[in-house]
Structure 1
């Protein structure tokens, strides 16, 4: 599956737009890692515990979006966008969406 955040794919002709596809997930970190992240917030430094959570969330959301596109018979997803929000301390939602297309 070709995935781009542009409206077109260089060198590829889009035959048909099949519709908007999306995936989302809400993830929470293990309480122990949340405590470590909170302490790191006080002293500063890279918050790897939360980076890991966002990376996992993004991967899950992307996988859902791709599965939805495959069900439509898509060859690619264009104009991909990401959004995230905090649901509560230690958890986050990641939403990814784009346009599923058929290419020639």
Structure 2
């Protein structure tokens, strides 16, 4: 097993071998925008352009969802998550759900020399 925890959005991991697929893993967070942010963002939206308060909130939410994904995968015995993706939705008009998900697995460095990719 490697000492680092690897997270990739691809279905493969160059330089590593997937030795075990554990299964589906996820990290979820639901956040409220809060009254202060809604007021500030509402005023900012009148002028148009990026609403920095929401951008910051969503970036923080994605980081937290990713951290929870890693935590869940680690608890399953994984040292990597393959095929990571994000999904988000709004709940009740005031809350945002952010989900990070992928396939937990165990990987190890591949010492074999690289060769061409073959699909069949």
TMscore range, shorter length: over 0.9
Q: Which residue of 2 aligns with 1:102?
A: 106
Between 82-91 and 68-77, the greater mean CA deviation after superposition: 82-91
Q: Tell me, in whole angstroms, the C-alpha distance in 2 between the residues paired with 1:92 and 1:40.
A: 19
In the alignment, does 2:23 pair up with 1:5? no
TM-superposed deviation, 1:40: 1.4
Q: Tell me, in whole angstroms, the C-alpha distance in 2 between the residues paired with 1:91 and 1:72.
A: 29
Q: Tell me, in whole angstroms, the C-alpha distance in 1 between the residues paired with 2:68 and 2:37.
A: 26
TM-superposed deviation, 1:91: 2.3
Q: Which residue of 2 aligns with 1:68?
A: 72
1:78 to 57, 76, 82: 82
Runs of 4+ in structure 1 deviating by more than 2 angstroms, as ranges, are 88-91
Deviations, residues 59-84 of structure 1 (Å, cap 9, x unaligned) = 11111111111111111100001000
Q: For structure 2, which runs of at least 5 residues remain unmatched after alignment?
A: 109-120
In the alignment, does 2:79 pair up with 1:91? no
Pick the structure with greater CA Rg.
2
TM-superposed deviation, 1:2: 0.5
Contact conserved, 1:77 with 1:100, CA < 8 A, in 2? yes
Flag the structure with higher helix content.
Answer: 1
Q: For structure 1, which runs of at least 5 residues remain unmatched after alignment?
A: none
- Aligned-pair Cα RMSD in Å: 1.1
Q: Tell me, in whole angstroms, the C-alpha distance in 2 between the residues paired with 1:95 and 1:71.
A: 18
Q: Tell me, in whole angstroms, the C-alpha distance in 2 between the residues paired with 1:88 and 1:48.
A: 22
